[in-house]
Structure 1
Amino acid sequence: MTSPSLPVLDLSRLGGPDHSAFLAELREAARNVGFFYLVGHGVPAQLEADLWREARAFFALPEAEKLSVEMINSPHFRGYTRAGREITRGAPDWREQFDIHAERETLPQTPGAPPWTRLQGPNQWPAAQPALRPALLAWQAALTAVAIRLLSAFAEALEQPDDSFEEITRDRPNQAMKIIRYPGRAAGESDQGVGAHKDSGLLTLLVQDAVGGLQVQGENGWIDATPIPGAFVVNIGELLELASNGYLKATVHRVVSPPGGRDRLSIAFFLGARLDAEVPLLALPPHLAAEATGPTADPQNPLFRNVGENYLKGRLRSHTDVAERYYADLLAGAPA
């Protein structure tokens, strides 16, 4: 199956008679585009319907209720962010959103503890919407299973053992997700829903409503990721780029704001490695290694093999108000 914009891959072919063909298509899509649609994933439609219902209900809450769980209250970067308060490449994104991660305990801050240990902790949940928590956590669990299955397929596609990523995702992978609303922008205003960027984890799985706006950077310009009902938009992140020594490329993408009078909703799930892990360097076979030219060298976005360090880097840049309140010791003397 193909789309006018991005490849469409059917996960139900994995493990069947088309297994090898699926792996070849997966490798090609990730190598050449870095984005694809995923169908046949097996996630129940009702689970997605529940998710959309609660996402819309959250953004319809009174502002005071949303601000009661504002991210500035969380040193772990969890909670609500107003439009214009998250930064990408130095410019504000015009989107409001609610971030959660896995529900885990706060790590003790002993002398000499790595700074990334401050990232782990509980989520915030709005008291006015008790159904939000089970809906988001159920979606997080379902997409974690899909993403882990995809990671195994990626390992096979790179001619590695299918459990190559198990060590860095076992027990406590970095599970992050956000529900996002992009308000419409009037003519003449900036159309930066979210600025051009790469994702920092292993894999991202996105669902979006019928309003377009997601664009992927291709060789000849921006490619529209036109919404397909029931399909996930999948892209690889910086950690897979590092693990494959650049054979797989984390692709730059952005969201263009909808026109005035409309809004756009999307829900993104990000699977990353355990925060205490080091990204392995896969021993690719010679014919693949010859095409692995190393990870992208971007002085504005250095990549670190220590997962916690790599993830913390992005959080500090994106949420400067949280960074200034809880991480001021790290910002002193740091590069802009």
Structure 2
Amino acid sequence: MAEQLPVIDLAALAPGAPGREMALIALREAAHRYGFFQLTGHGVPAACDIALRAQAEALFALPEDEKRAIAMLHSPQFRGYTQMGAELTRGRADWREQIDFGREEPARPLSRKDAPALRLHGPNQWPAALPGFRPAVEAWQQAMEYLLLRVLRACVASLGQPREALQPLYGERPWWTMKLIRYPAQASEGQGVGAHKDGELLSLIAQDAVGGLQVEAADGTWIDAQPTPGCYVVNIGEQLELASDGYFKAAVHRVRSPASGQARLSAAFFLGARLDSRIPALTLPPALAAQARGYTRDPGNPLLHDVGANTLKGRLRSHPDVARVHHADLLDGASSMPSRTATPR
């Protein structure tokens, strides 16, 4: 039988829930061994996902000129629509179209003294032809922010820490991004998204019934993240790997293009630390510290404790066209860095 990702019941992780200690151990082991798990018991109404999917289908069905009117190329904050093949993972084009969002806010007036990563704060781009699109997207964003903060607190508690030990990283307004993604079918299985890790604290993927998301196991084989009704897929990001000194695993994963003649649609939400923060090192209990592997150290793509610098580095590499138009002054510093992972899924 093929290996499956663990299933974690979020309701069992709530403070005071019966059997919570055993549920925390199951969560800790899933995050340590796989870095991925299926999440049930989350309490998000199915109607929230259904409304989002309907609007995503409507968006991707728009004429090309209407989608390009909100192209990411217009956004210094890397928000908006990206056509097929325009985002890179490790220098190779991903075969998907997508639209990216962040927290809606005005662009900040900045001076040369400000950290370059603060340029990432700003507005989204919304399709004028779909009046129901923004409300559905923002309702889902609000639900996912609340949900992933609950998961994050449970992850921290599973390490023997106070639930709010990482609260200074996210405060009242965590940094997050979101994607709606469409993977068209290909005649043969190809790269929907190449193998990569996510840079944030936690990521969540809402899948449709078309498979394709795969997680790399310790032996180098690939585990299919089977679409499961009522479940989200959640994975550990590099920020949480850093904070736990590698006890939690930011796993390599990819998406293979569907070859069935049916496109794949997914939504992804990435919860991260504030751009002006630095990732701390949690003091793990001795038994857990002895199992910590240390975070991944790749000289070609170093992980930075400075959240803003690490986040901006990823955007510049994944979207070189946007970088050239809006951030040419930063490219000399990034030109020696190989193209980093794109974000999924």
Q: For residues 14-63 of structure 1, give each alpha carbon's deviation from its aligned partner in whole angstroms, at most 9, with x where no partner exists.
A: 23111101100000000000100000000011111101110111111111
The letter for the 1-side match of 2:213 is L
Q: For residues 247-295 of structure 1, give each alpha carbon's deviation from its aligned partner in whole angstroms, at most 9, with x where no partner exists.
A: 1110000000011622100000110011111111101111111122321
The reply to whether residue 36 of structure 1 matches residue 37 of structure 2 is yes
The letter for the 1-side match of 2:197 is K
**C-alpha distance in 2, partners of 1:260/1:327?**
40
1:320 Cα deviation from its structure 2 partner? 0.6
Question: Which residue is 1:243 aligned to?
Answer: 243
1:172 Cα deviation from its structure 2 partner? 2.1
Question: Which residue is 2:48 aligned to?
Answer: 47
1:140, 1:175 within 8 Å by CA — same for their partners in 2?
no
Q: Which runs of 5+ in 2 are unaligned?
A: 338-345
The letter for the 2-side match of 1:275 is L
**C-alpha distance in 2, partners of 1:291/1:327?**
41
Question: Which residue is 1:204 aligned to?
Answer: 203
Q: Which is worse superposed, 261-270 or 82-91?
A: 261-270
Question: Which residue is 2:284 aligned to?
Answer: 284
Q: Which is worse superposed, 293-302 or 133-142?
A: 293-302
Question: Which residue is 2:77 aligned to?
Answer: 76
Q: CA RMSD in A?
A: 1.4
1:330 Cα deviation from its structure 2 partner? 1.2
The residue correspondences of 1:62-73 to structure 2 (distance < 5 A) are 62-73=63-74
**C-alpha distance in 2, partners of 1:93/1:260?**
18
Q: For residues 131-175 of structure 1, give each alpha carbon's deviation from its aligned partner in whole angstroms, at most 9, with x where no partner exists.
A: 111111111110111111111111110000110121111122112
Number of residues of Structure 1 aligned to a counterpart in Structure 2: 333
2:81, 2:99 within 8 Å by CA — same for their partners in 1?
yes
The 3-state SS of whatever aligns with 1:207 is strand
The reply to whether residue 298 of structure 1 matches residue 298 of structure 2 is yes
1:247, 1:291 within 8 Å by CA — same for their partners in 2?
yes
The letter for the 2-side match of 1:282 is L
The letter for the 1-side match of 2:111 is T
Question: Which residue is 2:193 aligned to?
Answer: 194
1:12 Cα deviation from its structure 2 partner? 1.0
1:35, 1:233 within 8 Å by CA — same for their partners in 2?
yes
Question: Which residue is 1:312 aligned to?
Answer: 312
TM-score for the superposition, normalised by structure 1: 0.97
The residue correspondences of 1:6-25 to structure 2 (distance < 5 A) are 6-15=5-14, 16-25=17-26
Identity %: 55
The letter for the 2-side match of 1:323 is A
1:4 Cα deviation from its structure 2 partner? 4.5
The 3-state SS of whatever aligns with 2:275 is coil
**C-alpha distance in 1, partners of 2:278/2:218?**
31
**C-alpha distance in 2, partners of 1:168/1:109?**
22
Question: Which residue is 2:329 aligned to?
Answer: 329
The 3-state SS of whatever aligns with 1:254 is strand
1:202, 1:238 within 8 Å by CA — same for their partners in 2?
yes
**C-alpha distance in 1, partners of 2:111/2:313?**
21
**C-alpha distance in 2, partners of 1:168/1:206?**
22
Question: Which residue is 1:123 aligned to?
Answer: 124
**C-alpha distance in 1, partners of 2:20/2:51?**
32
**C-alpha distance in 2, partners of 1:292/1:105?**
41
Question: Which residue is 2:343 aligned to?
Answer: none
Question: Which residue is 1:141 aligned to?
Answer: 142
**C-alpha distance in 2, partners of 1:51/1:28?**
32
1:173, 1:275 within 8 Å by CA — same for their partners in 2?
no
The residue correspondences of 1:97-112 to structure 2 (distance < 5 A) are 97-112=98-113
Q: Which is worse superposed, 138-147 or 300-309?
A: 300-309
